């Protein structure tokens, strides 16, 4: 009975819905999110309406709002919805079930071991890049940036890779916000972003060498995982004292690009 749609009846719970302080619209939105049980990735408005015992028109407005806020992703090919990154980031354990993490981790770990770098997978969360996976090699000297760490969009390799691959309207909107946050530093930051866009177009990767923190060098490659998931980035970084710009760009970059292409192919084969 646990997996039966009829078993999902949020309204039978004594959850205080008769309380005058209770926000019914919020509760209904959370009910929609709770419909996505383990093993079910995509649901349509009709299925959600049946499970929530709400009119389909109400559910349609709720899914539209949740999609706008990033809590759901609309899969255009099927017209259905899947949980968005805003929902997934509410709980780290949920992130662990993402196909992209499962596919990426062994490849990232091998690259980290082979190159002596820290290899991380991230996505944008507002004005930061959020690490959702992280692998280290056997080097004694390494970085200490773990899952859940946030780094700037504007000056890091991961952030610049995101900007270089993002749709133009998204990139321009972010650049406006970056400039507003630090007008004095903007000319230098803008120069780095323009170089990153050029490098990505020409070399398939971008770099940041001591520009975020002088003791850290890094390169990054963006990719689109598909399936309604947002643009993601994999970076390889290390302490500047042991990982030079030339080593990262000439030796690590081709392997990082090849690894990202393998991740993309693996994710495509699963769909």
- List the one residue out of 185, 231, 233 whose CA is nearest residue 212: 185
DSSP structural state of residue 10? G
Q: What share of the chain is helix, strand, coil (3-state, %, to 5)?
A: 50, 20, 35
- Do 107 and 171 lie in a common domain? yes
Range name among 61-65, 69-73, 167-171, 261-265 with the lowest pLDDT average? 69-73
- In this structure, the answer to whether residues 143 and 226 fall within a common structural domain is yes
pLDDT of residue 196: 96
- pTM beyond 0.85: the answer is no
What integer pLDDT is reported at residue 269 of this predicted model?
58
How many alpha carbons fall within 13 Å on the CB side of residue 112?
25
> For residues 52 and 12, what is the distance between their CA atoms, to the nearest angstrom?
11
Give per-residue pLDDT as tens, 103-127.
899 999 999 999 999 999 998 888 8
Specify whether 183 is located in the same domain as 204.
Answer: yes
Q: 10 or 154: which carries more pLDDT confidence?
A: 154
CA-closest candidate to residue 155, choices 122, 129, 120, 130: 129
Which of 88, 106, 138 represents a domain boundary (last residue)?
A: 88
- Between 193 and 142, the more confident residue is 193
Alpha-carbon distance 74 to 64, whole Å?
9
Give the side-chain half-sphere CA count within 13 A for 205.
Answer: 24
Count how many Cα atoms sit within 13 Å of the Cα of residue 41 in the half-sphere of its side chain.
Answer: 9
CB atoms within 10 A of CB 86: 14
pLDDT on residue 73: 84
pLDDT confidence of residue 3: 42
The whole-angstrom distance between residue 4's C-alpha and the CA centroid of its chain comes to 31
Assign residue 21 the CATH number of its domain. 1.10.10.10
Same domain, 99 and 219: yes
Same domain, 15 and 138: no
User: Does 211 lie in the same domain as 138?
Assistant: yes
Q: Give the number of residues written for the chain.
A: 271
Band (8; pLDDT cuts 50, 70, 90): very low
Q: Detail the DSSP E strand segments found in 10-163.
A: 72-75, 80-83, 118-125, 128-136, 150-152
* 29, 139: one domain: no
* Domain around 38: 5-88
Question: 77-108: per-residue pLDDT in tens?
Answer: 788 888 877 776 665 445 544 678 888 999 99
């Amino acid at each position: 009975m646990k997996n039966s749609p009829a078993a999902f009846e949020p309204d039978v719970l004594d959850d205080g819905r008769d309380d005058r302080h209770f926000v019914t619209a919020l509760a209904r939105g959370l009910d929609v999110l709770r419909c996505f049980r383990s093993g079910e990735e995509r649901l349509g408005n009709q299925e959600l309406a049946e499970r929530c015992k709400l009119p389909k028109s109400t559910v349609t407005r709720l899914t539209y709002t949740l999609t706008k806020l990033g809590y759901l992703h609309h899969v255009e090919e099927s017209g259905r919805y899947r949980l968005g990154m805003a929902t997934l980031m509410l709980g780290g354990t949920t992130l662990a079930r993402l196909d992209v993490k499962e596919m990426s981790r062994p490849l990232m770990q091998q690259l980290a071991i082979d190159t002596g770098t820290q290899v991380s997978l991230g996505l944008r969360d507002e004005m930061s890049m959020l690490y959702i996976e992280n692998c280290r090699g056997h080097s004694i000297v390494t970085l200490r940036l773990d899952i859940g760490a946030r780094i700037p969009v504007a000056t890091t390799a991961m952030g610049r890779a995101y900007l270089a691959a993002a749709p133009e309207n998204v990139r321009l909107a972010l650049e406006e916000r970056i400039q507003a946050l630090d007008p004095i530093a903007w000319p230098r930051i803008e120069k780095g972003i323009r170089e990153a866009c050029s490098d990505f177009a020409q070399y398939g990767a971008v770099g940041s060498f001591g520009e975020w923190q002088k003791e850290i060098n890094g390169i990054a490659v963006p990719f689109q995982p598909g399936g309604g998931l947002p643009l993601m980035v994999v970076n390889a970084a290390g302490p500047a004292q042991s990982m030079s710009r030339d080593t990262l760009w000439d030796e690590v970059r081709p392997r990082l690009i090849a690894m990202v292409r393998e991740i993309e192919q693996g994710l495509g084969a699963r769909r």
